[in-house]
Amino acid sequence: MGPRIESPQKPWPFPIRTLFFIVFSFLAGWGRDLPRERVTGGLYSRPCSRGSSLWSMQAQLLITGFGPFAGVEHNPSGELARLLGQRPDCHGCELPVTFRGAAEGLDRELEALGQPALGILSLGVHRGPGFRLEHRAGGAIVGEREDNEGVTVSSLGLAGPDRETSLDLDALEDALRAAGAMKVRQSRDAGAYVCERTYSHGLQRGAELGIQALFLHVPPGEEQSVGDQLPLVSALVDGLLRQVRS
């Protein structure tokens, strides 16, 4: 009986080796570009996550919110803005609750996008239940309520015309209700505080840049959690983007 000849072990077929390489590379790079920063509110503005390089290649909707201020320890608007900013078609950030800083921060974020924004959606919290879509903002705002720097809007001597959004708020109200929002209304009084100052500035910048701007007041976290608000506001974002892209 002659010596046994063992057949050489055949290498794996090329497609299988390639599949294993792709899977290994995917697992090794998992989460590399995901935001690692914890989403929390803050007294002043904090840097906004830019997301991956792939996201930055497309035009985005700028979404702003605020952190805590006197009487509001937990402000859901800032957290909503940052969470919505994880969408590839949005860039979210938190502005300081100051009359000067909010306007300056909005300008910085518009410039930092590197290309024209699709539009501006500003979020703020109000004391009532439900969501409030704001039609307009005054240019000459008067009020004695202090911001986080102890400054009142009256002391700034702001002047300018009242401005109004040209977005279809009826359609956006329908989008919120269709997503499950129980209480939604439209308003022509943005509150004469940092919210109205920010909206006025956003409408002005929008007119200069040829883009749309909107302010949405959201309910307090005690009334409705951020987790419950997020899909509702995201549905509004979808409706807003349909309008600005049409």
Question: Annotated catalytic sites, by residue?
Answer: 134, 195, 217
**Would you put residue 57 in left (φ > 0), alpha (ψ -120 to 50) or beta?**
alpha
Nearest to 236 by CA among 89, 121, 114, 147: 121
Please answer whether residues 134 and 217 qualify as being in contact, where contact means their C-beta atoms are separated by less than 8 angstroms. Answer: yes
Q: What residues contact residue 167 under an 8 Å CB cut-off, 6+ apart?
A: 212, 214, 240, 243
Distances (CA, A) of 167 to 60, 138, 162, 203: 17, 17, 16, 11
Q: How far apart are CA 96 and CA 51, in angstroms?
A: 21
Per-residue H/E/C for 22-58: HHHHHHHHCCCCCCCCCCCCCCCCECCCCCCCCHHHC
Please answer whether residues 224 and 180 qualify as being in contact, where contact means their C-beta atoms are separated by less than 8 angstroms. Answer: no
Please answer whether residues 99 and 194 qualify as being in contact, where contact means their C-beta atoms are separated by less than 8 angstroms. Answer: yes
Please answer whether residues 212 and 116 qualify as being in contact, where contact means their C-beta atoms are separated by less than 8 angstroms. Answer: no
99, two tokens: 């009359």
DSSP-derived letter for residue 128 is S
198, two tokens: 């920010």
